[in-house]
Chains A and B, each alone.
Chain A
Amino acid sequence: MKVSYILGRLISAIPTILLLTIIVFFSLHLVPGNVVDIMLGTQNYLNEEQIQKLYTDLGLDKPIIVQYFTWLKGIFTFDLGTSLRSGKAVSSLIAEKFPITLELALMSIFFSLIIGIPLGLISAVKQNSKYDYTFRVIGLIGLSAPVFWIGAIFIVIISSTFSDFSLFGFVDFFQEPFKNLQIMLVPSITLGIMIAAQIMRMTRNSMLDVLSQDYIKVAKAKGLKGKKVIFKHALRNGMIPVITTAGIQLGYLIGGTIVVESMFAIPGMGRLLLQAVNQRDYPVVQGIVAFIGILIVVLNILIDILYSVIDPRIELSD
């Protein structure tokens, strides 16, 4: 039963991923003018022969459908072409930068959870108290404030109060782990706050639903202590909707890494994408955008599967 659900879920992703690659690939061909002209821009430093070679190297002399399938095949063999600027393989660029973005994302998730869940929980348990109102207003502000503004405030406050705390100057985790964690701290809290606001709102709503259920009333009537009811009975069920919406948060999170990386000069995938956009390095842009799209589809499937494991009540037939 479960295996067939998982298989079905995996198969259902195939058309989505195919369409996604079609969107990414053919959008590039919607660009007015020839791709090579755009790549070369105004600083055309190549001669006729080199341009001709570029055409053949990029496979642009073949029909567009053939070009698409070559590129699609490349995705599965992790061969996404080479950067027009650095000459490095796009796939090795992604492999080099993605772990940094992943670290940032994981640390942000960690902070968003340890901020969001307790605040949401207190808000729900003490509904309509002054804590509830305060946290709800904070949550709304967190949802509304642009992440780069929060980051800017952090930079101003921290550099004026703790002058010897280094905010910039990324180092690799495997070279200097402590320095790395220190540098990543403020960026991941900045990004974490944005997600924490969403998690707090969801935890609150979901816990309010759960706390009004009959089995919670029964547990209380049986004389169980308030804390035990909340932590042992309510929290586990209350967290389920929070996990299901994790898929939506992923998008925010990955979008947010671009902003935070460019703000704090972290050399991750987001910053690479932004650089590639500014330099019109199309193979890199195309590769990263397709990579992110596929990554999100796959992660969403994993979340669905995880969800069905956590909550056995869920009908697997869907």
Chain B
Amino acid sequence: MEIKKLIRKFIKNPLNVISFVVLIFIILIALFPSVFAPYDPLEMDVNAFMTGPTKLHLFGTDQFGRDVLSRIIFGVQKSMQISFLAVILASLLGTSLGLIGGYFGTWVDQIIMRVIDAMFAFPAIILALFIIALFGASVQNLIIAIGVVYTPIFARTIRGSTISLKKQLFVVAGKALGKRNANIIIKDVLPNVFSILIVTFTTNFSTALLSEATLGFLGLGVPPPDPTLGGMIGNGSDYLLSAPWVALFPGMIIAIIVLSINIIGDGLRDTLDPRNIT
């Protein structure tokens, strides 16, 4: 199937296009926050403590007189960075475990799947909280915690596809020809689970963002004063009645980012689903 045909199919839905444009914009913000931010996110304006949205401060200021918009922009960068690296970690770990378990079967698979089952028993946020409780909150530990939490999803998904691919002729033939297992897994199986991997990556990237924001909200995210979206909402919740903008604007931005990723995820799934290809 040609890429062009897939793209044409993807852009047929205007919602996909809008979400894609929004996401590109968000990624640009995350890559070059200082270009977009009107102020330094840590700079305090002594003339404006908790002022509502004005021309000078579009989204208002917080209790230290810091510009909420600028903090959101730098917060987007931190949140996207952490979630992206976490899901990369999860997909590397999960895909390896899934490929190994699914391809070799037997006791190797049994052990891997039992551990995955046990990890699945914990709600994502509890497991992440537990890891942060043990190792402390830092950017690196957040990436590890969220990465570990999302590993089982990748392992399960990739294992399922690997098991069905294993029975396909091209894999069986490769084995008969005496190809090494590692060779078959990397050159034959992996490329065929790639589209599933991309869809899994997209859908879990959005929930990873929510997990990161939740940890930040609970006060277990990136330590202050660096802004993250969840942390801003947590901080702003103390002033909800006097200065609602401090918490509500970052929340709106999280919702917009996650919504656009979810729409793209749905769109990708429909586009890449072989049953839908005409």
Contacts and interface: CB of A to CB of B under 8 A. Distances in A.
Interface stretch (A27-35, A96-104, A216-224, A307-315): A27-35
Instruction: Assign chain A's interface to a size class.
Output: 35 or more
B122 interface: yes
Given A152-B248, A277-B132, A278-B219, A144 B258 contact: yes
A297 B241 contact: no
B129 A273 contact: yes
Interface string B197-221: 0000000001000100110011110
B255 to A, nearest CB: 4
6 closest A-B pairs by CB: A149-B251, A255-B125, A255-B123, A19-B118, A251-B123, A144-B259
Of A23, A28, A152, chain B has the most CB atoms within 10 Å of the CB of: A152
Contacts of A240: none
A140 B217 contact: no
Contacts of A252: 123
Contacts, number: 137
A273 B129 CA distance: 9
A155 B238 CA distance: 11
Interface of B is mostly: helix
A224 B251 CA distance: 48
B86 interface: no
Interface stretch (A56-64, A171-179, A257-265): A257-265
Interface centre among B117, B123, B252 (most CB of A within 10 A): B123
Given A145-B251, A274-B218, A140 B118 contact: no
Q: Is the interface of A mostly helix, strand, loop or mixed?
A: helix
Interface of A: 15-17, 19-20, 22-24, 27-28, 30-31, 140-141, 143-149, 152-153, 155-156, 159-160, 250-252, 254-255, 258-259, 262-263, 273-274, 276-278, 280, 285, 289, 292-294, 296-297, 300
Given A146-B230, A148-B233, A296-B122, A262 B241 contact: no
A16 B206 CA distance: 28
Interface in B50-103: none
Contacts of B218: 258-259, 262, 274
A141 B255 contact: yes
Interface in B206-247: 206, 210, 213-214, 217-220, 230, 233-234, 236-237, 240-241, 244, 247
A254 B219 CA distance: 18
Nearest to B262: A144
26 contacts: A16-B121, A19-B115, A20-B121, A20-B122, A27-B130, A140-B262, A144-B255, A148-B230, A148-B237, A149-B252, A152-B236, A152-B244, A153-B248, A153-B251, A156-B248, A251-B122, A258-B125, A258-B218, A259-B217, A274-B218, A289-B122, A289-B130, A292-B126, A294-B121, A297-B121, A300-B121
Contacts of B213: 146
A141 to B, nearest CB: 6
Contacts of A140: 259, 262-263
Contact of B126 (A16, A258, A276, A294): A258
Given A143-B258, A255-B126, 16 more contacts: A16-B118, A23-B119, A141-B255, A146-B251, A146-B258, A148-B230, A149-B233, A149-B251, A159-B241, A250-B123, A258-B125, A259-B218, A277-B129, A280-B133, A292-B123, A293-B126
Nearest to B252: A149
A152 B218 CA distance: 14
A136 B240 CA distance: 30
A232 B262 CA distance: 34
B241 A156 contact: yes
A259 B129 CA distance: 12
A15 B114 contact: yes
A283 to B, nearest CB: 12
Contacts of B220: 277
B135 interface: yes
B30 interface: no
A251 B124 contact: yes
Nearest to A141: B259
Contacts of B258: 143-146
Nearest to B247: A152
B254 A289 contact: no
